[in-house]
Structures are given as C-alpha cells and as structure tokens.
Amino acid sequence: MTASAFLHPGLWLAAAGVAAFFLRGRARQALLLAAPLAALAFVWMIPEGLHGRWEFLGFDATLARVDRLSRLFATIFAIMAFAGALFAMRQASRLEVPAAFVYAGSAIGAALAGDLLTLFIFWELMAVGSTLVLWSAAGPKAFAASRRYVAVHLFGGMLLMAGIAGHVAGTGSIAFDAMLPDTVAKALILAGFLLNAGAPPVSAWLPDAYPEASWSGMVFLSAFTTKTAVYVLIRGFPGAEILVPVGLFMVFYGIVYAILENDMRRILAYSIVNQVGFMVTGVGIGTEMALNGAAAHAFTHIIYKALLLMSAGAVLMQTGKRKCTDLGGLFRTMPVTAACGIVGALAISSFPLTSGFVSKSMISQAAADGHLLAVWLALAAASAGVFLHAGIKFPWFVFFQKDSGLRPAEPPASMRAAMLLLAFLCIAMGVAPEPLYAMLPHPVSYVPYTGGHVVGMLQLLLFSGLAFFLLLPMLRRTLTITLDSDWLYRRAAPRLIAPLGAAIAAGRRAVVTPVLGALAGLANGAGRFGSPRGAFGATWTTRATVMLVLALMAGVLLFSYR
Amino acid sequence: MLAEHFPALLVVTPLVAAPLIVVVRSARAGWAMALAACLAAVLMAAQLLARVAASGPVSYAIGSWPPPWGIEYRVDAASALVALLVSAIGTASVVYARRSAAAEIGGERLYLFYALMMLCLAGLLGMVVTGDAFNLFVFLEISSLSTYVLVALGRDRRALTASFQYLILGTVGATFYVMGVGILYLATGTLNLADLAVRLPQAADPRAATVAIAFITAGLGLKLAMFPLHAWLPGAYAHAPSAVSAFLAGTATKVAIYALARIWFSVYGADALLRDIPVAPVLAALSVAAAFIASGAAIVQDDLKRMLAYSSVGQVGYITLGLSLATEPGVAAAIAHVVNHGVTKSALFMLAGAMALRLGGTRFSDLAGVGRTMPVITFAFVIGGLSLIGVPGTAGFVTKWALAGAAIRAGQPVFAAVVLLSSLLAVAYIWRFVECAYFREPPAGAPAPGEAPASMTGTALALTAAVVAMGLHGAPVLGAAGRAAAALMGGAR
C-alpha cells in the first residue's frame, strides 16, 4: 500500500475474524459485534476513487475501487456480517463466526477489488472461508458436503484463473471493466463468475451444501458467494445476452425443485438459485433500469433471505427437525419467529410495502421497457411461483398446517433481536425505498407505488395463493405418505409442474447417473492403479526403470534420425 | 580481495567442513561447523547474486588456468539464484536436523550425518557454479554418493532398499550423462560449457550432438525424477531421515533441473532444440503425463511422505513443462517454480518430519486427529498444501500464474489448461490430509497435545512463512527467475 493510506474494510473484517478466533468470553462477543459496524463505517469513510495501489506479479494492482456500485455491495455485506454475528452469538462452534468474518471480509474485498488479479485473490479466499463455515457445523454430512463444495469452487476458481491468465496474456491489462464474452478467455471468466452464482449446469452445489451448515452458518452462506457473483456480473458483463436465458433457467430450476422439496432449508436454498436467477436476468437485459434492479434486488434479497434462514435456523435449533412433514403449528409457541418468517416470506414474494416489491419490480419493468415480452411473461409467472414455494409453502408448513405436537420455546434474545432487525429493514425499505434508490449505481426515476404495479402484484399473489390452497390437499397427502421414493411425490406434485420435474429427473437418470457411475468406475480403476499396491503406485523395479531410460533414449534418437 | 574467490569458496567451504567434522568426531561440534559452513555459503551466494545482477556473470579460473584449458567456475544470474536456494535450504535443514536427526539417527554415527550433509551440499553447489561439463559430472557423483548414504540412514530397513535402488539408478543416470559428455568431447575437443556452445555448431558430424543430448537428457532426467524415470524418488524421500527428505526435496532434483537447462539452453540453444532435435516435445509429453499421473498417484498413497514424494514428481512435471516451451517466459516460470516449489516442499517435509517425531510415523493411520494434537504444525502443513494447489497468497500461485501465462504466450494454451486442471488433483491429496487431521479421532494411545521441539517447529514455520511471503510479494523471485532465464538462454552463447 502506498500513496493513500486507508483501512480496507474487508481486510479489517477478516483480521478481526482471525483475532476473534483466539479470544473468548465477552471480549470475543464485543469484537464480533463491533467489527462489522466498524467495517460499515470504513466503507462509507473511504472517498470514491482508487485506493491502495500495490504491485503484484509485475502488475499495478488496486486494492479498492470505491464507486456507487462497489459501495452498495460492500455496505450490504457489512450489514449482513453484523446481523449474522448477532444471530450466531449463541453458536457453540468457536470457528464458525470467525470463519464467516474471513468469508464476509473477502466478499467485501472482492466487491471493492479494482482489478482482476485482486478480485481473484479475494475470490479464492472466499472459497476457503465459506468452506470453513460449512466445516464448523461438524459431523460427517457437513464434512462430505464441504468436500463437494470446495471441489466445485476450486474448479470454478480454476476456470476464472484460466480466463484471467488468457485475458491478461492477450491484452496485457488486468483492468476489470465491462466486457462481453467474445473471446475464449472472457467466456472462461464469465463461466467462473456464473459457477459461483449457482448457474446451470452446476447449480446443484448450492442446495447440496448450504443446508448442511449449522443453524447459523447457512445465514452467512446465503449472503455472500452468490451475491458477489451478481456484483461481478453487473460490473463485468452488463448486457451479455446469454445471461437472460441462463437467469430464466435458474429462476424456474429454483421454483421446480423448491416445490418438490420437503426439507425447509433446502426449500430456501433452491429459492436462492431462483432469486439470483432474477438478478442474472436483469444483468443480461443490461439497461440502467435493469442493472439498478439487479443491484437493488441483491441488496434486499440478502436481507430477506437471511431473515427467512434465521427463522428456519431458529426452528432447527429449537426442534432439531428440518423436514416440513415433521413440523407444523409452531406459531403457538414461537410467535416472534413465525412473524419474522412471514415478513421474510412476504418480502421474497414482492408483497407491496416490503423490500422485495421495490426491487424486483424494477427488473420486470426493465424487461417491459425493453419490449422483451417473453422475458416479462416469464418473470411474472415466476413471481407467482416464488410466492408458491417460499411465500406460502415455507411459513405454512413450518408454522401452521397441522399441529405437530411440538412446543418449542422462542429462541434466545440475541437471535430474536437479529430477526427483528432484519424484519424491520425489510419493511422499512418497502415503505420508504428512497434511501435504497439513492445508493444504486445509476440514477433512479422509477416509482414502485403506482396503482398499476400494486394492483397487478396483488392479483398475481392472490391467485397464486388461491392455487396453493386449492392444491394443498394433494401436496399434504403426498408429503405425509412418503418422501423416500421420489416417484411418489413426483406423481403427486402439482400437475403443472409434474411433467417438468419428471423430465428433469429422467434426464438425471439418463445422463447424469451413468456419467457419474462411469467417473466413479474410472476413479476406482485409477485408484487401484496408483495405490501402493497398484501397477503404478507400487515401487517399480530397478530393471523396469533402466529399460525406460533406454527406451526414452532410443525414442529420442529414432525421432531425430535424418 | 576475498570476494573474488567466492565462486570457489562457495564449494570449498562445505567440502572442507566435511573432513573437519569427521576429525572432530562430535555431533555437537559437527552441527555447529555444518551450520557455520551453510551460513557462509548463504552469504556468499547472496553476495554473488547481487554482484551478478549488478555487473554481469563472474568467471573464476581454478588454479589460474584460463578457460577453456583450465576448469572454469562461472556464476551468472541462473547459477547464483540456484546456489542461494540450495544453500538456504541446506541451512534450514541443518538447523532442523539438530533435534530431528538426533532422534532418528542418534548414537555415535550422528557426526557422520553432518559430514555427509556437507559433502552433499558441496556437490550440489559445485554442480551449480561449475562451467565445465566433466567437472559437473564429478560434483554430481559427490552429491549422489553422499545422498545414497544419507538415505540409508533412515530409521527402518526399507531405507536400505530405497537407498540401494537409488544408488543403482543414480549411477545409471550419471553414466548416461558422462557418456553424453564423452561424445561431446570427441566431437568438439572441449569440455568447457561456453566453449562447447561455440564449437558444437561447427562440429564435423551433427549426429554426434544429437546422440549426446539424448544421453544427457536421459541421464539428467533420471536424476531430476522426470516421469517415468522417477521410480527411485518415492522410496528415497519416504524412508530417508526427515531432515534429509527436506533437504533433498528442495535441492537435489532442482540442481539436476538446473544442469539440464544449462546444457539445453546455454550449450545447444533453444533454436537448435526446437528445430533439429525433438527433445522438447518429448519432455513436454512426459511433463503432462507427470502432472496428471504422478499427482493422481499422490492421492491414493497411504503415507504422508510418500504422498509428498509423488506430488514432487508431479510438480517437477510443471518445471519441465516450462523448460519444454523453450521460450524465455517459459524458462523463467520454470526457474521460479524451482525456487517456490523447493521452499514449499522442504517446508512440507519438515512439517511431516515433526509429525513423525511425535506420532511415530507418517502413515495416515498415525496422523488421525493430528489437527488436535499438533495444531500449529498441522495448520502450517495446510498452508504449504495450499501452495502446492496454487491458491493465491502462496508461492505456488505465483508460479502457476507465470507458467499458465507463459504457455498461453508461447501459443500453447493446452499446456496452461494442463497446469490448471492438474492442480485440482493437488486439491484431492491435500484434502485427504485435512480430512485425516481434522475429522478423525486420534487413535487410542496417541500422545498428549503438544508440538515438536522448538528448533524443528521454528525452522518449518520460517519456511512456511517464506512460502506466504513469496506468494504475497512474488516480484523478487519472478524478477530473479527472469534474469536467470535470460542468462541461461543468451548468456553463455
């Protein structure tokens, strides 16, 4: 760091996390609560512009580029780190929150990164931090999930690095500005970004890994990785047309799987893919309105998704159960948790007067302004789908439905405080969107509360609500019969969606399973080959090696004979 | 002035230290003398590196016989860099050995261990500074013979088998090398490397040059554990005493790589290699195979040191891949990886040795739960492992980046893909260690939590810190490697 000395909010947060790992008791709690607030203050104290120039690998790198867009994401990441730390105050694992701070700090670092190399460093650090968060849930399932998770993310990092290396070798510049995926290198960069966003064909890492985190770990995990990916897409690939179909696919992938799912936190994990799909679509549309919408939706989504996951986490902590079929009727003894969950559910459904309404409608409006009728219709249909799976299904099955006989108490005060804080933010941003709009990268002329918008949205929500309760007997019956054999619940799933779900499952059976089987067979063969008792791994005889030396030499001579 | 004699003193100091240690017959004094010789070598190598960077290559005529008649010691940016690496890792290994070797070898023979270390160091440094092809063979044999004995000092009888196999194969390699040198001598009438470079193109029969480089490449390929001639390496690294493994992993193969690069690029020249003789494509193919097959084999080993040994074969593949590009960025990336991987792997072997000392072995079954019994050592091992993978912030990333960029600029993006894809295999084998260290219960009767002796832990942590420092500030190594590549490819011609 030369020239302008400043306190990097991301590095500060990560360092505070490391320090907190070695602290105990009140000092630890105080640091964990104070550090994100300090980071938030730093984000707003740094003036706009480039800061922290440093030399890396012979390039002139920039630690922090502060402008409206990067500040918006750094702000929400810092807020989220605070809310998560507050929620996780009772977390028994000593590792989780410190790891989450490293994770959040590197997400802030990635959002502020002024060039591709700096971005890549924070990108990889983020993968390490989030893996540690998963780990700290302990237990074999979380560990196995973290193994798959880290493999996917290092693979994504590899794509990104290949792309950056190629891009830099081609252009000689590490600048990170808007570009289009018109070369192999840039396409690789885009692929690396999209992998973290949970885009097809590898969306499955997200619902596979996140629900295995602890009751508080998933709150952290939901916030940073995918939204950093949204940020770099807004920054790097605005208006890349491929993002529209990719985003729409994610939207519907999330809905279909969330409706078929029974585990409450997996429902919410699929719903992350779905919501990020809205943002990716917005980036693909690429107008100022759409980019504003994507950025705003990322901001509001982090808050209401965290709220939903806190509510689910509180239920998990108090009951130890995750499946919708085991839960129900909890509103009697957990009214605060239920109320906060409902606020989150309303917000994710873009109910008027909640934060989701003021952000998601910007993306739809951008599609309408661009005369993208198909996109607009798809988004409208998807809004109904969101209400179905997250807006009603989650609170209904967990807090109402039947009486499961469970009588858990409310969670501790710190958890309630975190939930109430986020619930307040959800409603405040919905009632008064102006401060949020003022932070967006482009000037906003959009007015959410027009008669048309409100009435249109309410109609959509009411009719999908009606559909849910009409289909409910079917949903409930199947959900209580069995969830082990997948054909049963696929057959009984809502009829509109059943063929699609069946097709996806059939595709899985026909393509993915044999491929995975072949890969496993190959890996087994390779393992035998390389193991200390296999043909390769066993110590070769001296004679064999000498023969190889001769063969090598003879080969060289043969090839060079003229 | 004394500084003028540094090229010779660099070799002579450890060479003289060895018999002195034998005369004194005391492990304690032997350790002190070895350490002093190593420190002197580090200082001289650092001074030479600075001098070469400032005012060009240094030539030193042994016995004042001017080259090409006498033996010339020639220090340029490449040899000074490798000499500094070798002497620095030698120093760290000697510091580490005080407790480690005492525990693993012990008894009356301990002073011989330090004498052998000094002989080996002298041989390796001699290979680096000499400008004479036959003299290089002599130093190769000095270092190899002492290495065989050092490996045989390992704590169980398997070390003897490993050492014997290394002896046979190492001798075969050295023989091939010396045959190649003999052919060159017949064809040109000189042994001085710079003189060879001048006379070789004028030689009567160009076929002699082809045969010679085939011999030399095969011979040095054996010494540098080029796939598939690596059979000696896993056994030798796994069963040698920990200090020896750490020393060899960072130096022995690296010096052989230096020698190969010296003869390829300084004597034959990149143009001739690409145009007339197909060694570069052969080496590239073998490097790709090494990166995938050897790294893959590392995943399924059941012993940590064996895993590291197979990982070394894979990482050497990256280095030879850089050489086979035969471009200046490619060679620079290879040299940078020689340094970065040398430090990383030495650190990892030291950490593995620290675990072995307290847990009685490095089989994965011994290491279960080591994250709880030895948290500092285990954490450092994970950092070193991240460098093998090439995660940003570690030395491994710097060279992975340089290598991928060099491959792309050489018009070989496939090789960049090889480097990046095969690094995912490193994820798998490092993950195995992580799983074993943190997610398994320590076996019954495991020692109480506690770290290894401070001198071992401290040295290993210092090298690990160096790995991170070189990762965060990659410019010094990359710059030195760039100058080394320029010297290799243009200096002696």
Q: How remote is the C-alpha of A9 from its chain's centroid?
A: 21
A546's CB contacts (< 8 A; 6+ apart) are B168, B169, B172
Nearest to B413 among A57, A166, A542 (CB): A166
Cross-chain Cβ contact A546/B172 below 8 Å: yes
Number of helices and strands (H, E) in chain B? Answer: 22, 2
Cα(A272)–Cα(A227) distance, integer angstroms: 10
A229 vs A536, more confident: A229
Cross-chain Cβ contact B475/A162 below 8 Å: no
pLDDT in tens, B19-59: 999 999 888 899 999 999 999 999 999 999 999 988 888 88
Tokens of A352: 């008027």
Tell whether the torsion through CA atoms of B160, B24, B83 and B263 is positive or negative. Answer: negative
Q: Is the pLDDT of residue A505 over 70?
A: no
- Per-residue pLDDT, A262: 83
DSSP 3-state of A95: coil
Residues found in chain A: 562
Residue B274 to chain A, least CA–CA distance (Å): 11
- Per-residue pLDDT, A360: 86
Nearest to B475 among A55, A154, A559 (CB): A55
Find the range with the poorest average confidence among A33-42, A85-94, A199-208: A199-208
Q: Is the pLDDT of residue A495 over 60?
A: no
The average confidence (pLDDT) of chain A is 85
Cα(A319)–Cα(A206) distance, integer angstroms: 24
Residue at token pair 């847990």: B359
Q: Is the pLDDT of residue A54 over 50?
A: yes
pLDDT in tens, A249-281: 999 988 888 888 888 889 899 999 999 999 999
pLDDT in tens, A350-367: 888 899 888 888 888 888
Cα(A341)–Cα(A166) distance, integer angstroms: 46
Cα(B10)–Cα(A49) distance, integer angstroms: 52
- Per-residue pLDDT, A487: 39
Nearest to B405 among A168, A537, A553 (CB): A168
Q: Is the pLDDT of residue A454 over 90?
A: no
* CA nearest to A558, candidates B222, B361, B207: B207
Cross-chain Cβ contact B297/A143 below 8 Å: no
Cα(B470)–Cα(B489) distance, integer angstroms: 25
DSSP 3-state of A62: strand
- Per-residue pLDDT, B124: 96
Cα(A253)–Cα(A431) distance, integer angstroms: 31
Cross-chain Cβ contact A158/B475 below 8 Å: no
- Indicate the residue type of B351: L
* Residue A256 · residue A500 · CB < 8 Å: yes
Q: Is the pLDDT of residue A509 over 80?
A: no
The average confidence (pLDDT) of chain B is 90
Residue A345 to chain B, least CA–CA distance (Å): 37
Residue B79 to chain A, least CA–CA distance (Å): 23
Q: Is the pLDDT of residue B405 over 70?
A: yes
Q: Which residues of A touch B302 (CB under 8 A)?
A: 531-532
Average confidence (pLDDT) over B381-392:
93
Average confidence (pLDDT) over B152-156:
85
Average confidence (pLDDT) over A478-491:
39
B334's CB contacts (< 8 A; 6+ apart) are B257, B261, B318, B319, B320, B321, B322, B323, B403, B485
- Per-residue pLDDT, A535: 62
In chain A, the residue whose alpha carbon lies closest to the alpha carbon of B280 is: A556
**Range among A87-96, B135-144, B413-422 with highest mean pLDDT value:** B135-144
Domain boundaries, chain B: 2-491
* Residue B468 · residue B394 · CB < 8 Å: yes
B28's CB contacts (< 8 A; 6+ apart) are none
Average confidence (pLDDT) over A77-88:
94
Tally of CA atoms within 13 A in the half-sphere of B256 that contains its CB: 27
Model pTM? 0.88
- Per-residue pLDDT, A258: 85
Tokens of B175: 């023989």
- Per-residue pLDDT, A235: 94
Cross-chain Cβ contact B231/A540 below 8 Å: yes
Q: Which residues of B touch A150 (CB under 8 A)?
A: 427, 431
- Per-residue pLDDT, A527: 67
pLDDT in tens, A274-287: 999 999 999 999 89
CA gyration radius, chain A: 25
The burial class, CB within 10 Å (0-12 / 13-18 / 19+), for A532 is middle
In chain B, the residue whose alpha carbon lies closest to the alpha carbon of A550 is: B218
Tokens of B84: 């500094």
Task: Supply the DSSP symbol for A391.
Answer: I
Average confidence (pLDDT) over B221-239:
90
Task: Supply the DSSP symbol for B224.
Answer: T
Cross-chain Cβ contact B435/A143 below 8 Å: yes
- Chain B interface, mutation test: which of A57, A123, A212, most B Cβ atoms within 10 Å? A57
Cα(B489)–Cα(B270) distance, integer angstroms: 7
Find the range with the poorest average confidence among B242-246, B280-284, B346-350: B280-284
- Per-residue pLDDT, A562: 60
Cα(B89)–Cα(B45) distance, integer angstroms: 12
- For chain A, the distance separating the N- and C-terminal CA atoms, rounded to the nearest angstrom, is 58
Average confidence (pLDDT) over A494-523:
65
pLDDT in tens, A407-427: 888 888 999 999 999 999 999
* Residue A347 · residue A430 · CB < 8 Å: yes
Angle between helix B242-261 and B77-104 (nearest 10)? 160
* CA nearest to B146, candidates B244, B235, B12: B244
B260's CB contacts (< 8 A; 6+ apart) are B216, B217, B220, B221, B224, B323
Residue A114 to chain B, least CA–CA distance (Å): 16
Nearest to B474 among A56, A135, A553 (CB): A56
Q: Which residues of A touch B300 (CB under 8 A)?
A: 526-527, 530-532, 534, 537
* Residue A132 · residue A101 · CB < 8 Å: no
Which helix H or strand E contains A55, and what residues bound it?
strand A49-56
DSSP 3-state of B59: strand
pLDDT in tens, A135-165: 888 778 888 888 888 888 988 998 999 999 9
Cross-chain Cβ contact B405/A150 below 8 Å: no
- Chain B interface, mutation test: which of A122, A131, A158, A171, most B Cβ atoms within 10 Å? A158
Tell whether the torsion through CA atoms of B76, B82, B85 and B86 is positive or negative. Answer: negative
pLDDT-based confidence at A497, cuts 50/70/90? low
Q: Is the pLDDT of residue A87 over 50?
A: yes
Q: Is the pLDDT of residue B17 over 70?
A: yes
Cα(A330)–Cα(A404) distance, integer angstroms: 8
* CA nearest to A279, candidates A317, A248, A316: A248
A471's CB contacts (< 8 A; 6+ apart) are A494
Residue at token pair 């701070």: A101
pLDDT in tens, A157-194: 989 999 999 899 888 889 998 888 888 899 999 999 99
* Residue B84 · residue B6 · CB < 8 Å: no
Residue A60 to chain B, least CA–CA distance (Å): 12
* Residue B287 · residue B384 · CB < 8 Å: no
From its phi and psi, is residue A142 left (phi > 0), alpha (psi between -120 and 50) or beta? Answer: alpha
State the count of interchain CB pairs (< 8 A) between A and B. 147
Alpha helices in B276-394 (DSSP H): 279-289, 295-299, 304-325, 328-359, 364-367, 370-373, 375-389
Percent of chain B beyond pLDDT 70?
99
Nearest to B297 among A150, A536, A546 (CB): A536
Average confidence (pLDDT) over A373-396:
84
DSSP 3-state of B180: helix
- Chain A interface, mutation test: which of B300, B304, B388, B441, most A Cβ atoms within 10 Å? B300
Cα(B265)–Cα(B79) distance, integer angstroms: 13
Average confidence (pLDDT) over A487-516:
57
Q: Is the pLDDT of residue A338 over 70?
A: yes
DSSP 3-state of A115: strand
Cα(B263)–Cα(B177) distance, integer angstroms: 11
